[in-house]
A and B are shown apart, each in its own frame.
Chain A
C-alpha cells in the first residue's frame, strides 16, 4: 500500500510532503462519505484537481490499487468547467476558491465533495477546507456545503475536523 509511505508524521515542511499529505487526505475524505446511489453504475470514482499540479501528481502516484465504493479511483487535472466531467471529489487549489461555484454549477451531478484550500474556502461554497495549523495540515467542514451536494459526511471524520460549520460538532 503506497499510501502508507506518504503518511509520516513529520508533515508540511516542504511542499512536496504537503502535497502528498493533501493527496492522501483527499482520498481519505472520500472514504468517510456515504456514496450510496450517488454515482452512476459503471462510472469510475473521479477526483478532479484544479490548480494544484503537485497534489494531482501525488494522487496519480498513490491511487493505483485503491478503490472507493468498490470503484477504481482516478484523478483528473482540470483547467475550468469545460473539462470538469462528472467528478465525485473536486479539489480547487489555493487561491482558486472563487471559481468553485461556477465549477459546481457545471458539474454533471450535484453529488460532488468540494474541497478548497484557503482561508474563507467554506464561504466560497465548499464542504471541506484545508487549514494549516502548527505546520500541520488540518481541515474544517461545512455541513451546509455537504448538504448542498446531498452528501453525508461520517461523524468519524467530523470528529477530527478542526471546526464543523453549520451544525453541532459531534463528540
Chain B
C-alpha cells in the first residue's frame, strides 16, 4: 500500500469530494432559503397585521396631545403637537379637522401630498404602502374634531433589508459549511483513497496478498472488509488453480511416462519374436511380457476413463445383489499377482456368516482391489496386509491395513484428489498415475458411502476404510 496515487486515483477522489461538497453546499443553501423565506413571510405577516394597531396607537397619542388645542382653538399648539411627529418616521401626513370638517392643523413630511381639505370618513384604509386612519378626537365625552393620519409601511424596504441579511448569512453559512465539510470529507475520502490505492495496486501488480487498511467503522469499513475477503478468496483460488495446474502438468508427465514404460519391454519382446534363432522358452516369455504390459496399459487407461466418467457424472452403477465373499475373492484375484510378487502376507478378518450386498459388484471389487494394490505397492517386500470387514448398526466397514510407508497425516486431504501421489519417486518406481484413490472415492460415493484414510506418520503403515451405509446390506431371509 505504498503505491503512488495514480492520475485516475486523484481524479476519482476529486469527483467524490466534489459531489460531497455539492451535496453539502446545496443542502445548506436550500435549508437557508427555506428558513429565510418562511421567516420573511412570517415577519411580513406580523408586520402587516401590526399596522392597524400601530397606527391606532399613534392616532390615540396624537389625539390625546392635540385635544386641548382643539378644545381651545389653539392652532399654534396643534401645529406644534403635529410637528412632533417629525420623529415618527412612519407617519408621513397628519391633520386635525374641526367637527364641521374644516382643516384645523396639519403636518406634511417633505415630498408627501397634503391631507384632504375636509375631514374624510372615519376608519382605516390602505392604499398600497400607505395606510390612512381617520378617527375622532374626544375629550370628556365631547367630540372636539377628527384626526387624520397617513403612515407608510415600506414593505419593499423591509424585504430588501431582509434579503440583505439573508444573503449575508447565506454567504457566511456556505463559507462555514465549505470549510467544515472540506475537513470532514477527509473522513470519507480517506478510507476510499486507501481502498482505491489497494485496488489499483492489485489490478496493476496482480498481487492478491495486498489488503486494504480498515480506517473507519462505517459502510466504507464494511466495503473494506468485503474487499479484503474477496482478495483473500481470489488469492486462495489463484493458489489452488496454480496447484491444480501443476498437478495436471505432473500428471501429464506421469501419464506419458506410464504409457511409455511398457513399450520398452514390448519392443524388446517383439524384437525377440522376430529373431529366427529364438527358443520356444524365450518365445513364451516374450508373449507373456507383451500380454502383461498390454494388460497393464489397458488397466491404466480404464482407470483414467472411469475417473473422467465419474467427474463428468457419466458413470452409472449396475446395482445387484452380490455375495460379499465372491466380491472379495474377485478383488483379491486382481491384486494377487502384485501381493505375491512382493511376498506380502495377506490376512482376512471377515464376518462369520454370509453377507449379501446391494451394490455394483464390478465397481465395488474394483475399489477394494485398488486399495489392496496400493497397500502392496507402498509396502516394502514381505509386509503384512490385513483385510477386515465389520458389520454394525451403521452399515459395513471394509478396511485394508498395511505395514508400509504410510503418509504424513497432513497430506490426507490431498490424497483423494486427482493426480496426487504421496511420493512421486516411489509412485513412479512402482508405476501408477495417482488416480487410484480418487477413483475409489468416486465409486464409493456413488454407492452412498465414504472412504477415510489413516496413518500414524511416514513409515508407520496406513489404513484405508470404506464405509457403506446400512441400506447397502440386504436383509437375510
Contacts and interface: CB of A to CB of B under 8 A. Distances in A.
Interface of A: 1, 3-5, 7-9, 11, 21, 25, 27-28, 31-32, 66-68, 136-139, 154, 156-157, 159-161
A4 B99 contact: yes
Contacts of B100: 7-9
Nearest to B138: A1
A28 B71 contact: yes
Given A9-B102, A9-B104, A160 B143 contact: no
B141 A136 contact: no
A28 B141 CA distance: 11
Contact of B99 (A7, A11, A67, A161): A7
Interface stretch (B72-80, B238-246, B284-292, B441-449): B72-80
B143 A25 contact: no
Contact of A4 (B72, B140, B143): B143
B67 interface: yes
Contacts of B98: 7-9
Interface string B200-234: 00000000000000000000000000000000000
Nearest to B65: A156
B316 interface: no
Contacts of B99: 4-5, 7
B103 to A, nearest CB: 9
B239 to A, nearest CB: 106
A31 B72 contact: no
A25 B71 CA distance: 7
A157 B74 CA distance: 11
B69 A31 contact: no
B19 interface: no
A3 B74 contact: no
Contacts of A8: 98, 100, 102
A156 B72 CA distance: 11
Contacts of A137: 73
16 contacts: A1-B141, A1-B143, A7-B73, A7-B144, A8-B100, A9-B102, A11-B73, A27-B142, A28-B71, A31-B139, A138-B72, A138-B73, A138-B74, A156-B65, A156-B68, A160-B77
Most A Cβ at <10 Å: residue of B98, B102, B142: B142
Contacts of A139: 72
Contacts of A154: 68
Contacts, number: 63
A160 B72 contact: yes
Nearest to B64: A156
Given A4-B143, A7-B99, A31-B140, 12 more contacts: A4-B99, A11-B73, A28-B140, A31-B139, A32-B68, A66-B142, A154-B68, A156-B67, A159-B68, A159-B77, A160-B68, A160-B77
Contact of B142 (A3, A9, A157): A3
B139 A28 contact: yes
A154 B67 CA distance: 12
Interface in B110-159: 139-144
B421 to A, nearest CB: 125
Contacts of A68: 140
Contacts of A7: 73, 98-100, 144
A32 B104 CA distance: 21
A8 B102 CA distance: 9
A75 to B, nearest CB: 16
A1 to B, nearest CB: 6
Nearest to B104: A9
A68 B77 CA distance: 25
Nearest to A11: B73
Contacts of B104: 9
Interface in B411-437: none
A161 B69 CA distance: 9
A8 B104 CA distance: 10
B61 to A, nearest CB: 13
Contacts of A136: 73
Interface string B39-80: 000000000000000000000000001011101111001000
B102 to A, nearest CB: 6
Contacts of B144: 7
Most A Cβ at <10 Å: residue of B68, B72, B74, B141: B72
Contacts of A28: 71-72, 139-140, 142
Nearest to A67: B141
Nearest to A68: B140
A66 B141 contact: yes
Contacts of A159: 68-69, 77
A31 B471 CA distance: 127
Nearest to A28: B71
A159 B71 CA distance: 12
Nearest to A162: B74
Nearest to A157: B68
Most B Cβ at <10 Å: residue of A5, A21, A159, A160: A160
Nearest to A160: B74
